[in-house]
Amino acid sequence: MLAFLVRRLVGAFLVLVAVSFITYLIFVKIPGGDPAPRIAGRLATDQNIADIRQKLHLNDPFYSQYWAMMQSLFTGSLKSYSSQLNVVQEIKRGIPATLSLTIGAGIIWLGFGILVGVISAVTAGRLSDRVITVLALIGISMPVFWLGLISRYLFAEGHPLSFLPDGEYVGLTVNPWQWFVHLLMPWTVLAVLFIGFYGRVLRSNVLDTINEDYVRTAKAKGLPPRRVLVKHVLRNSLIPIVTLFGLDFAAVIGGSAILTETVFNLRGVGQYAADSVQSLDLPPIMGVTIYATFFIVLFSVVVDLLYAWLDPRIRPT
Amino acid sequence: MPERLIEVKDLKVQFATEDGIVRAVDGVSFELARGEVLGIVGESGSGKSVTAMTLLGLTKEKNTRFEGEVLYKGRNVLAMNEDELQEVRGNEMSMIFQDPMTSLNPVYTVGAQICEAIQIHEKTDKRAARLRAIELLKQVGIPNAESRVDNFPHEFSGGMRQRAMIAMALACNPDVLIADEPTTALDVTIQAQIIELVDRLKDEFNSAVILITHDLGVVADVADEIVVMYAGRVVERAPTRKLFYDPQMPYTWGLLGSIPRLDRPRQERLHSIKGTPPSLIRSPTGCKFRPRCPHAFDKCMEEPRLENRVEEPGHLDRCWLSVDEKRRLREATIAGEEEAA
């Protein structure tokens, strides 16, 4: 077990290095990627640009630049090229909004995804299953930005139906109730896609598991149907859902929430990333990339551990 | 006269499918008394497993139709509701299945699965159930039962898993143990051990056993009576000795002929029954075995009834051939010289 953990952590570290290095290369080498002219402004002389290059060590070999950037990132002194704001501070400022959004949405989509999946599997072929299937497909097909704008229009912008505040993030510690009502719409909008998707996946998992021999054994033992469903069918069909959830959740924290954050103006990390990419601002991009990779790597380790806990067959001995 | 536990009367089980009605079991009758072992033999698709599952009400689905009666101690299983069925399943009648590799839930320990069977039917606390589980594992011959009880199924070999299944089936001391091809997935040396075990435990637990198999060799030593099924029907039924020494139905000859034997001259190839079992949606007219039977004649267009045709009173069959003809013809079939003849 310990060896497994150590191996995974070393692997995770290597992934972090590789991802950050590749991101760095991409942004340095793309046309227009040179930050000096942009920082110098439109009326800059060649001398200005050369000075900036000198000051930012842009003439050094790229690997030493990369090293310097990593050093300043991890010591927390890395500054944005354009706004001169501290990158780590900015990411830290965005984290409460992003985590509030993703954790809340994650709970909603996992809970409803399981509920919807189980209902449609249990009633497979009947009306409720068909209705759920259609709703799930609609949910999967609706783009987040479209659904976000429509729901803002209907529920927040003075429309007769409106009862929710329009966007913005209020800190949990500032006002828990306002935190909740401000996030209700973003949570739902972000979760809809996943509810549909998870419902479909779980439905087919459950239908596969129901035909397993050990489910027949459980029935032959005289267990009540509900117990057979929960202990023998669901327990096994949820294993793949856990993997999906771990990776999706990490991906959402690491940037897939960009659209939701932007639509609802939550000022989370995703929105920060989107703004930085638009202005080709390398330091924040590096910071956000490391942050996102960290969560994805972390959650894939967590998923592996959970997996071993859920399925004794792959438990390392 | 030992207590009669099971009485199946003219049982029919039909499944409505998109292709038509599947007559999986078509008029099967037999009885089982305490202490007895009944063998049900037939090819795949002859309806033997459906018969077994129906005894526990496990075939009850929306598209299933039943006729006839399955009486357990005089109560009709087919008329029971879900609660009554749960009370019977695992408690009074229990079942072990063909493939021990997939019949145990991979995410729970063997002990937990045995305890589950105990605790659902009896008010026992966890500790007592666990001790019972260990005791049961010992009885089915699992070494180091105290530590093995906490193993997961994948840590058991195939034979051990089948032993664990048997332990689970016997957990509540059932009256009837139904074993649906319990040895098919196991290798030959283990097969004999499992069958022996079932036979021994039947006496220890004072229960009756229904042993379902496609291999007459498996039931030869332990069964008291054998029912041979074909296309959802009983085609021959006899006390075990009679079935082996004086088989009346050409289908039974085929089954007997396909067992490899040491006491006969070695043949080039093992005998097999030609053709495949008929469709259960549109089965042949007359005798169901007619299309595959080398001895079929005109009269076989009409289906013979299951009745007694030989001197032995308990020996029933469905074949129009005269007893003398049968005795003459079958030697050739069983010896596998059918083609030469």
pLDDT at B338 over 50: no
> Cβ of A211 under 8 Å from any chain B Cβ?
no
Q: Which residues of B touch A219 (CB under 8 A)?
A: 58, 89
> Residue A39: what pLDDT?
77
Interface membership of B272 toward A (CB under 8 Å): no
CA–CA separation, A114 vs A107, rounded Å?
11
- Could you say which of B88, B104, B154 has the minimum Cβ distance to residue A217? B104
Q: Give which of B56, B87, B95, B107 to mutate to test A binding, by max A Cβ within 10 Å.
A: B107
| Predicted confidence (pLDDT) per residue in A282-315, tens digit | 888 888 888 888 888 888 888 888 888 888 887 7
Measured in whole angstroms, the distance separating CA B7 from the mean position of its chain's CA atoms is 15
Secondary structure of residue B170 in the 3-state scheme: helix
* pTM to 2 decimal places: 0.82
Pairing of strands B307-308, B316-317: antiparallel
Residue B314 has pLDDT above 70, yes or no: yes
Measured between CB atoms, which of B97, B99, B121 is closest to A222?
B121
Q: Which residue in chain B is spatially nearest to A312 when comparing CA positions?
A: B107
CB contacts of A310 in chain B (<8 Å) are 107
Residues of A (143-182) whose Cβ lies below 8 Å from B: none
Give the mean pLDDT of chain B: 88
* Minimum distance, in Å, between the CA of residue B303 and any CA atom of chain A: 36
Q: Do B107 and A311 touch (CB under 8 A)?
A: yes
A208 interface with B at CB cutoff 8 Å: no
**Residue B311's pLDDT band (cuts 50, 70, 90):** confident
CB within 8 Å of B204: residues ≥ 6 apart? B139
Residue B7 has pLDDT above 90, yes or no: yes
| pLDDT at position B339 | 45
Q: How confident is the model at residue A4 (pLDDT cuts 50, 70, 90)?
A: confident
Task: Check A221 against B120: CB less than 8 A apart.
Answer: yes
The pLDDT of residue A79 is 86
Mean pLDDT over the full length of chain A: 87
With pLDDT > 70 as the criterion, what percentage of chain B qualifies?
Answer: 94
Per-residue confidence (pLDDT) for residue B341, from 0 to 100:
37
Question: Of the CATH numbers 3.90.1150.10, 1.10.3720.10, 3.40.109.10, 3.40.80.10, which one belongs to the domain with range A96-310?
Answer: 1.10.3720.10
Give the residue-averaged pLDDT of A42-49.
81
Which residue from B210, B208, B174 is spatially nearest to B87, judged by alpha carbons?
Answer: B174
A107 pLDDT above the threshold of 90: yes
Residue B267's pLDDT is what?
61
Distance from CA of B18 to the nearest CA of A (A): 14
Going by DSSP bridges, is the β-strand pair B176-180/B208-213 parallel, antiparallel, or unpaired?
A: parallel
Q: What is the mean pLDDT of residues B82-98?
A: 90
**Residue A215 distance to chain B (closest CA, Å):** 8
Which of A217, A235, A237, A317 to substitute to test the interface with B, most B CBs within 10 Å?
A: A217
> For residue A247, is pLDDT > 90?
no
Residue numbers in B near A312 (CB within 8 A):
106-107, 152, 154
Report yes or no: A216 at the B interface, CB cutoff 8 Å.
Answer: yes
Q: Is A226 on the interface with B (CB under 8 A)?
A: no
CB–CB of A310 and B120 under 8 A?
Answer: no
What residues does each domain of chain A span?
A: 2-74, 96-310
Set of chain A residues whose Cβ sits within 8 Å of the Cβ of B168: 217, 221
pLDDT recorded at residue A7: 87
The residue of chain B nearest to residue A236, with distances taken between CA atoms, is B107
Helix (H, G, I), strand (E, B) or coil at A56: coil
For chains A and B, CB pairs below 8 A equal 70
Q: What integer pLDDT is reported at residue B282 of this predicted model?
A: 86
B335 pLDDT tier (thresholds 50, 70, 90): low
Residue A209: closest CA among chain B residues belongs to which residue? Answer: B105
Please give the residue that has the higher pLDDT: either A210 or A34.
A210
Give pLDDT, residue B226: 94
CA distance A40 to A55: 12
**Of A228, A35, A143, the residue nearest B117 (C-alpha):** A228
- Smallest CA–CA separation between A1 and chain B, in Å? 18
Q: Which of A162-176, A177-191, A280-294, B223-237 shows the lowest per-residue confidence on average (mean pLDDT)?
A: A162-176
How sure is the predictor about A75, in pLDDT bands with cuts at 50, 70 and 90? Answer: confident
Average pLDDT over residues B236-258: 88
- Residue A237 phi/psi, 5-degree rounding, is -80, -10
Chain B residue numbers touching A226 (CB-CB < 8 A): none
Cβ contact (<8 Å) for B107 and A220? no
The predicted model gives B297-304 an average pLDDT of 88
pLDDT > 70: what percent of chain A? 99
Please compute the mean of the pLDDT values over residues B12-24 and round it to a whole number: 91
- What is the per-residue pLDDT for B273? 80
Please tell me if residue A232 touches chain B, with a CB cutoff of 8 Å. yes
pLDDT higher than 50, residue B149: yes
Write down the pLDDT at residue B153. 93
Q: How confident is the model at residue B221 (pLDDT cuts 50, 70, 90)?
A: confident
Closest alpha carbon to B68 in B234, B203, B230: B234
pLDDT at B81 over 50: yes
Q: Where are the beta strands (DSSP E) in chain B?
A: 4-17, 20-33, 37-41, 64-72, 75-76, 93-96, 176-180, 208-213, 225-230, 233-239, 307-308, 316-317
Quick check: B72 contacting A, CB < 8 Å?
no
* B114-137 pLDDT tens trace: 999 999 998 889 999 999 999 999
Residue B340 has pLDDT above 80, yes or no: no
Task: Give the model's pLDDT for residue A255.
Answer: 74
Q: Do A312 and B121 touch (CB under 8 A)?
A: no
Mean pLDDT of the region B30-57: 91
In the predicted model, what is the mean pLDDT of residues A15-30? 86
- CB distance B120–A223 less than 8 Å? yes
Min Cα distance A232 → chain B (Å) is 7
User: Which has the minimum average pLDDT: A60-64, A207-211, B50-54?
Assistant: A60-64
- Please answer whether residues B114 and B137 qualify as being in contact, where contact means their C-beta atoms are separated by less than 8 angstroms: yes
Helix or strand or coil: residue B33? Answer: strand
Average pLDDT on A100-117 reads: 94
Q: What is the mean pLDDT of residues B58-62?
A: 87
Report CB contact under 8 Å: B91, A232: no
With CB atoms and an 8 Å threshold, state whether A313 touches B97: no
Instruction: Give the lowest-confidence range in B58-62, B269-273, B317-321.
Output: B269-273
Is the model's pLDDT at B179 over the cut of 50? yes
Determine the pLDDT at residue A131. Answer: 93
How distant is the Cα of A219 from the closest Cα of chain B, in angstroms? 8
Inspect the interface and report whether the beta carbons of B105 and A214 lie closer than 8 Å: yes
Q: How many CA atoms lie within 13 A of B276 on its CB side?
A: 4
Residue of chain B whose alpha carbon sits nearest to that of A220: B89
Task: Answer yes or no: do A312 and B154 touch at CB < 8 A.
Answer: yes
- Residue B268 is predicted with a pLDDT of 61
Tell me the pLDDT tens digit for each residue of B268-285: 667 778 888 888 888 888
In order of A259, A268, A288, the CA distances from A93 in angstroms are 18, 8, 12
User: CB distance A221–B88 less than 8 Å?
Assistant: no
A220–B105 CB contact, under 8 Å: no
- The neighbouring-strand residues paired with B233 are B230
Q: Taking a C-beta distance cutoff of 8 angstroms, is the pair B8, B69 a contact? A: yes
Give B294's pLDDT tier (boundaries 50, 70, 90).
Answer: confident
- Using a CB–CB cutoff of 8 Å, tell me whether A235 touches chain B: yes
A55 in reach of chain B (CB within 8 A)? no
